């Protein structure tokens, strides 16, 4: 696909030129509180002095989360995270998009889940897709760096052609739609706007070695860190007078994420995605014949030019 790299480079150049023309007039960057609201125990969230970084705390009493004030249909969504360090077995940090604030039965959802581990063992990143309340589309990868040592960027590109999960601009997973069918394949979220969420919580009944490794509460509190949220996307207005859907939700081509270069991986990204599949892929639901004797229909779309 036409990576946002070139678009972001052009945007950076424009912002740089503007800063020389009138640096004093440049607006202050948005704080986390401008985009998000806390869900859960507010005393388990800390904020940096400049308001640009949030820290979420998990202890044996509770975890915590946050969600965007707006919801979106299609676009580019990016966040920098630094995950829980040291012994994080049983701890899950989730960064995801969901159409409902309460995990309603008919929700659509796009998930990053970071599964903690015992000290020295690599984190596992699980991605998943839900449509109309049905999931089961898990893929798992090991990360090729230490995600606890520094911030790394995790992003989702979502348009009517495919959904791409990125780690530091590397496309680790492509989830395709079938453009040859009216309405696409039956398991592609294309109609429900979504909020962006993150949370930290205890999942030691399944998260680490299938629940064999339990959370060591003597190591609490567990802290995940967030900064540099960005959404170049179609915001879905709220309220009775708002258009439904907004014009930007249609395939107009007015935004870079809804133009042909963003409909497929470019050559460099295909090479990166192939490297990921060879070297760090742990589990792929499309290959699990115990769960899916007949692979789900979207699995057949891989290799059609839009998927890994």
Q: How many CA atoms lie within 13 A of 9 on its CB side?
A: 4
Q: Which two tokens stand for residue 305?
A: 């030019």
User: How far, in Å, CA of 225 to CA of 100, rounded?
Assistant: 24
Alpha helix stretches (DSSP H) within 116-167: none
32, 39, 56, 279 from 64: Cα distances, Å? 15, 6, 6, 33
Which distant-in-sequence residues (6+ apart) come within 8 Å of 175 by Cβ?
A: 129, 137, 162, 163, 164, 165, 188, 298, 307
Tell me which residue of 158, 160, 163, 165 sits closest to 184, measured CA to CA.
Answer: 160
- Any catalytic annotation for residue 213? no
Reduce the DSSP state of residue 282 to 3 states and report it. Answer: strand
Q: How far apart are the first and last CA of the chain?
A: 12
User: How far, in Å, CA of 47 to CA of 97, rounded?
Assistant: 22
Of 109, 138, 213, 267, catalytic: 109
Within 10 A of 199 (CB to CB), how many other CB atoms are there?
Answer: 20
195-202 and 71-82 strand pairing = unpaired
User: How far, in Å, CA of 190 to CA of 208, rounded?
Assistant: 32
4: buried, middle or exposed (CB in 10 Å: 19+, 13-18, 0-12)?
buried
Eight-state DSSP code of residue 5: H
Of 37, 113, 213, 298, catalytic: 113
- Any catalytic annotation for residue 267? no
- Could you give the residue numbers annotated as active site? 109, 113
């Amino acid at each position: 696909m036409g990576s946002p790299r070139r678009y972001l480079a052009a945007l950076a150049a424009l912002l740089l030129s503007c800063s020389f023309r009138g640096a004093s007039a440049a607006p202050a960057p948005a704080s986390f509180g401008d985009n998000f609201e806390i869900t859960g125990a507010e005393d388990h969230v800390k904020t940096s002095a400049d308001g640009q970084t949030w820290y979420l705390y998990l202890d044996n009493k509770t975890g915590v989360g946050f969600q965007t004030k707006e919801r979106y249909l299609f676009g580019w969504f990016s966040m920098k995270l630094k995950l829980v360090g040291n012994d994080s077995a049983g701890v899950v940090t989730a960064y995801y998009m969901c159409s409902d604030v309460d995990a309603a039965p008919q929700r659509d959802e796009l998930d990053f889940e970071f599964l903690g581990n015992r000290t020295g063992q690599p984190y596992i990143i699980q991605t998943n897709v839900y449509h109309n309340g049905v999931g089961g589309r898990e893929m798992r990868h090991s990360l090729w760096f230490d995600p606890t040592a520094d911030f790394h960027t995790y992003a989702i590109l979502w348009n009517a052609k495919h959904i791409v999960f990125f780690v530091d601009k590397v496309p680790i997973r492509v989830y395709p739609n079938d453009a040859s069918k009216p309405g696409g394949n039956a398991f592609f979220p294309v109609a429900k706007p979504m909020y962006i969420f993150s949370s930290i919580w205890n999942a030691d009944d399944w998260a680490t070695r299938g629940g064999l490794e339990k959370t060591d509460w003597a190591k609490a509190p567990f802290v995940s860190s967030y900064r540099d949220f960005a959404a170049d996307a179609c915001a879905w207005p709220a309220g009775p007078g708002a258009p439904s859907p907004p014009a930007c939700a249609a395939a107009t081509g007015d935004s870079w994420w809804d133009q042909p270069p963003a409909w497929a991986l470019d050559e460099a990204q295909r090479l990166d995605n192939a490297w990921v599949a060879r070297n760090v892929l742990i589990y792929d639901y499309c290959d699990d014949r115990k769960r899916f004797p007949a692979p789900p229909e979207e699995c057949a779309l891989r290799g059609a030019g839009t998927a890994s």
